[in-house]
Amino acid sequence: MPKKVINSNKIVRSFRKSTAHGTVARGLVFVTGQVPNKRNMDPRKGKQYEMGGIEEQTIQVMENVKAILKAAGTDLNHVLKRNVYITHAGDFDAVYTILDRYFPSGVASTGVVTGLVPTSARVEIDVIATLPD
């Protein structure tokens, strides 16, 4: 089964032509790390955008992830693995409180404190999901 490239028209395209929003292969959906870009924020134009506080950013990131999963034909209920990248360890509780709403039954997860691109982003999340049976 060849891979299928997924791009959602609900969010801005990735920085690079070679980066898709996600790919699907063998019943799995791999979502590229999402930062809190909104549709009208195009980071390819070299501008820095005010992305809001950590709660607003986390919600936007999750809405981006949901849009990509929907474009692939699945949803958050089919997420197997989540990776969360934050720029400040002090944001951990705020980020995971919001993630608890999106994943009420739990999901395998890794959290990392790191720098992000764009530098105004404070959270990035990528997921691996399955397609529904």
Range of the domain at 74: 4-12+19-34+50-130
Model confidence over 22-41: pLDDT tens digits? 999 999 999 999 998 876 66
Q: Closest Cα partner for 58 from 107, 11, 91, 29?
A: 91
Q: How many domains does the chain have?
A: 1
Instruction: Look at residue 125 and tell me if it is in a domain.
Output: yes
| Any domain includes 42 | no
pLDDT digits (tens, 9 = 90+) for 55-79: 999 999 999 999 999 999 999 999 9
Residue 43 lies in a domain: no
Task: Examine residue 73 and state whether it is found in any structural domain, yes or no.
Answer: yes
pTM for the predicted model, two decimal places: 0.90
CATH of the domain at 56: 3.30.1330.40
Whether residue 127 contacts residue 109, with contact meaning beta carbons closer than 8 Å, is answered with: no
Identify whether 93 is part of a domain: yes
Residue 69 lies in a domain: yes
